[in-house]
Amino acid sequence: MRTLAQLFIGAATLWSSASFAQPATTLADVVVCATAADAKNYATTHKDAIQNAIASEITGKACVVAKIAFVPGKQSARIEHKDAIYAVTEIMIVGVSTPLGVLGIPPNLAFTLLRLQDQGV
């Protein structure tokens, strides 16, 4: 009986600590697109110059470049360019940058192109 009680206490402890674990929020200038297809189209339009397009704040037909706070999610397609490999990534936007700082917003689902740092072409 005592072993069963210890097992329940251990499971409850693990469950409660896991439920509070949150992925890290990132604040960065990224391209924000409504769909994964829009993100792929942005990558195709700015072939081999994605970082320059983002740094120059070049918007696309269905995408914008903005400084946002987001939590990355699932990655789908990988896009290889001359300068790097990018992953089309689902993100949850949780804040936007303003002149007064970061403004928290209700979470919004979007897609972006994240450069994979550890993989060269």
Q: Any idea where the domains of the chain sit in the sequence?
A: 22-115
Q: What is the mean pLDDT of residues 84-98?
A: 93
Residue 117: which pLDDT band, with cuts at 50, 70 and 90? confident
Q: What is the mean pLDDT of residues 83-109?
A: 92
Which DSSP state fits 24? P
Cα separation, 85 vs 70, whole angstroms:
20
Angle (CA) 48 49 52, round 5° = 160
Q: Which residue type does 34 have?
A: A
Which among 36, 103, 35 is positioned nearest to 69, based on CA atoms?
Answer: 103
User: What is the distance, to the nearest Å, from the Cα of residue 84 to the centroid of all Cα atoms in its chain?
Assistant: 17
SS3 of the chain: helix, strand, coil, percent, to 5:
30, 45, 25
Query: What's the mean pLDDT when you consider all of the chain?
Result: 79
pTM: 0.74
